[in-house]
Amino acid sequence: MNMYIKNLVAFFSLCFLISCTDNLNFDEINLNVDPILTTPLIYFELNQDDFYNSTTGTEIPMITDTSDFRVFKSSAIRNDVFKAVFDFEIENRFDRSFEVNIVFFDGNDNITRTIPSFTIVPQDLNYVASESIEIDASPIFLTSRKVRVEVKLNPSTTQIDPNIYQIIKFKSTGTFHLSI
């Protein structure tokens, strides 16, 4: 009986010894997760009558709209984002050129970032632009809480005709590079 038990104990030990996990390294487990998240942002479609005041019969040279921009309200995003890229696609079926100005503001309406203006010539149906913001270089951008998009008709001898259906189409996405 004692011999059996001794053998048993010996081979319990032996088995642990012959079982090996050689060639494993648990010391260099360093996994940085770097997801790139892209999301649709502002889009709109404007007709010629959006630039025409039917009461006065005159052109409206500039229209503006604003929205909250809450991407950076999340501390998870704020702490991990290191680059933001905004892509724009604009289709201009007007016979007029126009300019687009995009400005970001913080909660107190202070400017945090101005995207350089785009000028889209008449009948340019495939205008594309991109703006990349490195957060290290512009940390103030993380305080952005509002975004304003201005559309300004450039002066021309060609007048807006609200009776003709012609559109401006604006599309945009935001792509956020994170390092978690």
- Which member of 5, 75, 136, 155 binds other proteins (CB under 8 A)? 5
34-49: b or e for each residue (b if 16 or more CB lie within 10 Å)? eeeeeeebbeeebbbb
Residue 32 interacts with other proteins (CB under 8 A): yes or no:
yes
CB of 41 to other proteins, least distance (A): 5
Q: How far is the CB of 69 from other proteins (least distance, A)?
A: 7
Q: What residues have CB less than 8 Å from 38, skipping those under 6 apart? A: 173, 174, 175, 176
Please identify, using beta-carbon distances, which residue of 64 and 110 lies nearer to other proteins. 64
In sequence order, which residues have a C-beta less than 8 Å from that of residue 153 and are 6 or more positions away? 51, 59, 60, 61, 62, 96, 97, 98, 160
Instruction: Give the contact letters, 54-93, x = binds to other proteins (CB under 8 A), - = no.
Output: ---------xxxxxxxx----------------x-x----
Query: Which of the ranges 44-52, 108-116, 132-140, 152-160 carries the binding residues for other proteins, by CB under 8 A?
Result: 44-52
First to last CA, the chain: 60
Task: Map residues 135-164 to x or -, x wherever contact with other proteins holds by CB under 8 A.
Answer: --------------x-x-------------
